[in-house]
Amino acid sequence: MNYGRVYIVRHGNTFDKGDVLRRVGGRTDLPLSTSGQAQAKQLAEAFKGIKFAEAYSSDLKRTRQTAEAILGEQAYALATFLTEIDYGPDEGRPETDVVARIGQAALDLWDTQAIPPKGWHVDPQDLRTAWQACLASCSPHENTLIVTSNGVARFLLDVVDGGAEAPRKLRTGSYGIIGITPKGPVLESWDVRPKA
């Protein structure tokens, strides 16, 4: 039986090799870096031949540029979905400063269990509810594209069958696939990065 699929894509890189890595969220609207543009092209090649009935991204440059590269010549109206979370006092700070402020243990809890560190502005239950509503609205017979950030994507895993077994991290330029089946949304794959 054919059913719809939701392709969840994390935007491409915003930093290149040698750049100072910073914690960027919803208040930091960076475009794709050179390597991020290359990742977006690789995603477009990987999705060549897939027709998307609907397409969503946040309003940030990095997610919109990634979505536009994937969609290419397809006729679409790119709708706005959840924006990245707000990292509070760590927004825009170098990663070394973030670890110094919150500690590696707090960052590990974020990466493995989606528990936000103190001072970050994120409501996990609101994000889970938003993902549930989004998946419920997706066509059961067509493909949907959603380009987002890792901060937001990690909460999708809590509302799909099979999500508990997947790592929370969705690397830049990677994607996952959710099947919209009669029994509900099912994780088919996660953190797949197209080869260069």
- Taking the C-alpha atoms of residue 106 and residue 120, their distance in angstroms, rounded to an integer, is 11
pLDDT at 73: 81
Specify if 34 maps to a domain.
yes
φ and ψ of 18, to 5 deg? 95, -20
11: annotated active-site residue: yes
- Domain of residue 80 covers 4-86+122-192
pLDDT at 1: 54
> What are the structure tokens assigned to 145, written together?
């594209």
Query: Taking the chain (196 residues) in consecutive chunks of 10 residues, what is each chunk's mean pLDDT?
Result: 90 96 95 98 95 94 96 84 94 97 97 96 96 94 96 97 94 97 96 90
- Taking the C-alpha atoms of residue 6 and residue 193, their distance in angstroms, rounded to an integer, is 16
Specify if 23 maps to a domain.
yes
- pTM of this structure: 0.95
> What are the structure tokens assigned to 160, written together?
């799909």
Specify if 165 maps to a domain.
yes
CATH number for the domain harbouring residue 66: 3.40.50.1240
For 116, which DSSP code? P
84: annotated active-site residue: yes
User: Helix (H, G, I), strand (E, B), or coil: what is residue 57?
Assistant: strand
**Catalytic choice (11, 91, 95, 141):** 11
Question: What is the number of structural domains in the chain?
Answer: 1
**Catalytic choice (45, 68, 73, 84):** 84
Specify if 61 maps to a domain.
yes
